[in-house]
Every structure is written in structure tokens, then in C-alpha cells.
Amino acid sequence: MMQNIILKKSNKQINGTVHLTGSKSECNRALIIEALSGGKVKVENISDAADAVLLAGILRSEVGNGQVAVEAGNTSAGTAQHSLPATVDIGPAGTAMRFLTAYFAIQENDVILTGSQRMKERPIGILVEALRELGADIDYEEKKGFPPIKLKGSFEQQTSKISIKGNISSQYITALLLIAARLPFGLELHIEGELTSRPYVEMTLAMLQTANIQHVWQDNVITISHQEFATASIHVEPDWSAASYWYAIAALADEAELFLTGLTPYSLQGDSVITEIMANFGITSQFKDGGVQLTREAKPLTRKIFDLKECPDLAQTIIVVCAALNHEATFTGLETLKIKETDRVLALQTELAKMGVKLIEKGQVYKLDCSEKFIPERMFINTYHDHRMAMAFAPLALIIPELEFENGPVVDKSYPAFWTDLAKLGFEVQEVEA
């Protein structure tokens, strides 16, 4: 039986310390690098996010029928030294789908890569076509352009120069960059048009640099030659995306003193920009004692336009905070939200409507209309199998007496301790059967 969560907060004060899990984004990249390096690279502080645990299990561990999924040390393209199960099911893990598509494309084993029903609705065609152009043999098992896919172990590189659209998903670009050094002729990747989520691509290149994989990025072309990974350790930082929900809670509180451990001002994660964004909401970030101290101060909210092109995973959080504060802001850079775990634009519109708020879409510009907003005594939040829908709406417990969240365990995807951490800081968290 699926468990729902009822969430309440008797006052609007928040005070305490939160220990965040490792970044899912960093961890997933590091795990692929570890596997491709043949064991030369070691990953420290692996995230306990379900997606990262799943990917680590596929890349490191034995799975059904006693067959080894992939073992670090046996991952050089062109040499079959390990066996794989016929099918690898990544469930709802979108990052794993993209990264493993590229990873398995250069192995010598036949693999069927599949996932949840929602995963079968999320496009993969742009990445598949790019890999086919490089020399991969990939077939669609069901619907063209979507998982499941069959990757045949017969990679022979045909070219080093490929082009890919920059405004669809940075994960396609990252997937290609991660395998580039293992390609016999390297990779010259031409990015067409404007690049969405640029910080995620920069994160990928910085982590590869840690393993001494060099690159050249000139204009819209990223070049990585064939080269060897160096012995290295990659320490995964705490998750700035997870931190964003605590910033939102601080923004909606009357008084807030929060300490988030392990975070630094010099992060590879693009979502660390939450410090700058939430400064508009009166949240001061002071880095000290191995973390960041959040303090809320009264401040007029004047910023009207938020461009979230480089940090789309913060969109739900920021939009919900603005709605809670009756701030009729305008948002851009939300193009990728419709192909995430759910159509996040539609999900936001549906759930915000339950408190009378409209998110109006005009082309690629979105505006909040709070003119008919009301505060219900109780609000049921559908999560759409999307971890960020649950966590982005949780701060509303500071203004709505009772919230009920469909499928509480959905947060396990990126922040398994979320409800527990809320309880530690004074929220009333109750599990109920759906």
C-alpha cells in the first residue's frame, strides 16, 4: 500500500541543522567516470539518493541470475571482459537512462535498456541518433525515439564530429562527453543553438578534469581527444538542489536560522545559484564552520523576472515560493520542464490552481497570477511520481494548516531523508495509507 504524508507546522519559526546527502548530479557523473576509468577513479561520499544507488548497483554489483552488470576495471571500449544481463531496468531514473545509453553503446555486450512507464514516454532519440552517427548499433524495442532500446556490442567509430541541439537536455551532451575520451578518435561536439543548463555541462567537464581528461571548449564546439584516465578520487559534494527546499522554507518562515552542513561557495553545481536567487527573498547565506548559515531578514521583494534556463531544477521551488508570497513574477528558461519526471509545467499549473493561483504560459514566458489566491484549510498535493513536486510544495506547510502529499516515498529519488529532516526541525510528519 502506497504511503501518503500529512505535513503540518504549528508555528512559522524554523531553527536547526540539516545534514544533506551527496549531490545526485555529481554522483551519477562520478560513477560513470569511475567505471570508464577501469577503476583508476574512486568515488567518495556516494549519494543515498535512489537514482545514484541504482546506478552504482548497475555499474558495480551483481544482479539477477548471478550475472555481473558492469564491474569497474572491465569497461574499456573494444574489450569484452564481463557479462551483462539481457535487460537493465533503470526504473524512473532519467539521468541513468541518458548516461547508460552512451556508456553501453561503447561496450561489447548486447543490452536492452528499459525503465518505468514514464521513462518510456521520455524522449531519447536525439542522443540515440548522435551515438548512431558515432558508430553505435542501437534499435528501438517499442516506440521510435523512446526507451526501451537495444544496444548491440559492435561499436566501431565512424566519425569524431557530431552536432547536437543545445536547448533540449544537457544530459544528452553530458552523456556524450563522459564517453569521449574512450572513443578511439575522440569527440568534436558541435552544440547547435543556445545551450540550456550550461552549468551542468561545466560540471561534467570539471569532473572529467579531476581524472585528467582534458578538453577544449571554443565557441560552440567542445573537443575531447582519446586519452587515458588518471588515478584520482572524486569527492561528491552535498546536494544544492536539496538545499533549495530549505531556502524556500526559510523564505516562508517568520523567523529562520538554519545551518546546512558541507556546502561551500565554490560548487560545481549550477543550483548553488539558489544563494543569489533567495537573497531576493531576504535570505542571507553565510559560509562558515564547514557549511552555510541561512538567516531570514525582512526585505521588500522587487525582482520581477527570473530566468531559470541554467537552473531548471529550481523552477518548481522558486515558483511555489513566489505563489505563496503573492509575488506575481515572470519566469523564463522552463523549456526542459515538460520532459522531466512529469510535465512539470502542467503539474505546477494543476497544483497551484488548488489555491487559486494561475501559472499562465505565453510562448516561452510564464507569469504568475495571484489575483484569486486563497489559503485553504487543507490541500492535497499530487506528486506525479516526481520527487521535486513533493519537496517544492512542502514549504507551503508554513502557510496552509494541513498538506497531504500523494506517495511520500517519491522523495527517495534524490533526498530520502527529506521527511525525517522536516520532522527533526519541528514539522509534524504523519504517514497514512493512501
Is 313 a known active-site residue? yes
Beta bridge partners of 189: 162, 222
Q: Cα–Cα distance between 181 and 171 in angstroms, integer?
A: 17
Report CA-CA distances (Å) from 386 to 42, 67, 411: 30, 31, 8
Burial of 142 (0-12, 13-18, 19+ CB in 10 A): exposed
423 near 399, Cβ under 8 Å? no
Q: Cα–Cα distance between 142 and 135 in angstroms, integer?
A: 22
How would you write 209-243 as a 3-class SS string? HHCCCCCEEECCEEEECCCCCCCEEEECCECHHHH
Q: Cα–Cα distance between 316 and 336 in angstroms, integer?
A: 12
Verify cis geometry, omega within 30 degrees of 0, for the bond prior to 395. Answer: no
Report CA-CA distances (Å) from 309 to 198, 254, 342, 403: 8, 30, 18, 30
Name the catalytic one among 51, 313, 386, 421: 313
Q: What is the DSSP string of 109-148?
A: S-EEEE--TTGGGS--HHHHHHHHHHT-EEEESSSTTSS-
Number of H helices, E strands in the chain: 12, 22
Q: Cα–Cα distance between 274 and 240 in angstroms, integer?
A: 8
Q: What are the residue numbers of the active site?
A: 313
